[in-house]
Amino acid sequence: MTTSSYLVIGASHRTCAGAVRDRLSTEEAETAGMLERLRAAGLGQALWLSTCDRVEVQAVHDRPNEAALAVAEVMADRVGLSTADLAPQLYTRTGIDAVRHLFAVACSLDSQIVGEPHILGQVKAAHRSAAGAGLTGPELEAVLQAAYAAAKRVRSETPIAEGATSLAAAAIQVARDLHGDIRRCGALLVGLGDMGTLVLEGLREAGLPRLTVAAPVDRRAEAAARRLDGHFAPWAELEAAMAGADILVTAAGLGRYILTAPMMEAVLKRRRRRPVFVVDAAIPADVDPEVAGMDGAFVYDLADLERVALQGRVGREAATQAAWMIVDEAVAAFARDRAERAAVPAVAALRSHFETERGRLLAGHADLDAASATRLLVNRLLHAPSEALRALAADGSGEGLAERASAERLLFRLFGLDRATGPAPGRQDETEPDKDERREPGREVR
């Protein structure tokens, strides 16, 4: 099976509204059910990947376009929309484009924050779930292992991961400058974007004792709070949760402001103007720009944190370009490997045919010397393709001439023939049956 059988279909932060993506996303306990729905839709090799940035299916199928339509129907049913209504918010990749996309996802080149470290682990978790459900096979395993190898190269050969890590470190630095000992602080994570989660994980490692999580979908916030060893706040009580946070990290990216100026004014009043460090880690922004001008609110977006971390854009772009070069090299190598594997059955059949003819010759002509035996074997092997070429030459139609030219080009390529070389003068035409073969008892000449 070649790369033409691979497909990816999904919704990401680039294509799909946040509210729809939230309804489409799944927690770990729901993954098995979605995999069963994919199996029922006719997919034998597929994984369901659900992260803060994307929900997508990576799969292998003999008819990838038909399979993509089946997956779209599963996704539409999940969010309660018609396939036609959801389709404009989905992306579909097939063939080598699907392979490249899968590699880019694993290497964190398709994330909101290039280089963020979570996605590879999320892909591997989705892989394990698919394997547990019996929805992996040799083709899906091959592309995933190749993607993991590419991700390892990107991490070891480029500084791309340093950018995301340094943004989290910059947030810790600002929090300490503003609040002093962050071990006396509490934080609220609003939304579940990967960069926001990364910042909170860094704060946790730096000693942050209290963490609360809120998100537009409460069940997802509860699951994230358990994962981060924090507390859960219902979305309906968001303003009250904000009032108790010294550090507020927004990472929802709903396309509208979650933290508005009037809301922040109410929060600051409840806090008696005690300062709040606000990290807007969402794309698009969650925080109204007017909040930054309010007394007591210290707002930093990702660009601000990048400046604090002294990460120049040129350096980040160079690292990204280097990572893409590794991905493209890995994709090309994978495509070559799959193409070579696809040729194995034909090569094996050809070898088996040659060996059969050799065995028949030895069985019927044990008394021949080496020169006679090899000449007879060559004539036997070349007889059928020679007749086929003659038949193509006899077909004077345009289609026949084109097929003959194509066959000749392939013949010269397969056997490394020199077009300038012709038969030696006076030499027997080796496409004719050998005289020894004509005398072979009980065997018709082909």
Other C-beta atoms lying within 10 Å of the C-beta of residue 323: 26
Best CA proximity match to 301, nearest among 148, 435, 443, 170: 170
Q: Does 208 belong to an annotated binding site?
A: no
DSSP string, 167-197: HHHHHHHHHHHHHS-GGG-EEEEES--HHHH
Across the beta sheet with 45-50, the strand order is 45-50, 54-60, 6-12, 91-94
Tell me which DSSP letter residue 426 carries. Answer: T
What is the Cα–Cα distance from 29 to 129, expressed in whole angstroms?
10
Q: Which of 16, 52, 107, 185 is catalytic?
A: 52
Report the interhelical angle of 95-106 vs 313-364 (nearest 10°): 130
Q: Does 15 belong to an annotated binding site?
A: no
52 is catalytic: yes
Best CA proximity match to 112, nearest among 70, 167, 35: 167
φ/ψ (deg, to 5) at 41: -80, 0
Q: Does 10 belong to an annotated binding site?
A: no
Q: Does 320 belong to an annotated binding site?
A: no
What is the Cα–Cα distance from 18 to 38, expressed in whole angstroms?
23
233's tokens: 């706040």
Q: Does 34 belong to an annotated binding site?
A: no
What is the Cα–Cα distance from 365 to 378, expressed in whole angstroms?
14
Is the peptide bond preceding residue 423 cis, with omega within 30 degrees of 0?
Answer: no
Q: What is each CA distance from 269 to 29, 105, 291, in whole angstroms?
A: 40, 43, 14
Other C-beta atoms lying within 10 Å of the C-beta of residue 67: 25
Please provide the distance, in angstroms rounded to a whole number, between the alpha carbons at the two ends of the chain.
34
- The residue ranges of DSSP E strands in 88-179, in sequence order, are 91-94
Amino acid (one-letter) located at 211: L
Q: Does 53 belong to an annotated binding site?
A: yes
Q: Does 259 belong to an annotated binding site?
A: no
Q: Does 429 belong to an annotated binding site?
A: no
Amino acid (one-letter) located at 336: R
Q: Does 122 belong to an annotated binding site?
A: yes
Tell me which DSSP letter residue 250 carries. Answer: E
- Residue written as tokens 């537009």? 216
Q: What is each CA distance from 384 to 19, 355, 432, 439, in whole angstroms?
A: 65, 16, 10, 19
CB of 247 closer than 8 Å to CB of 220: no
Q: Does 194 belong to an annotated binding site?
A: yes
| 318: Cα separation from own chain's centroid | 22
Query: Per the annotation, where are the binding residues for NADP(+)?
Result: 191-196
Query: Per the annotation, where are the binding residues?
Result: 51-54, 111, 122, 191-196
Query: Per the annotation, where are the binding residues for substrate?
Result: 51-54, 111, 122
Catalytic positions are 52
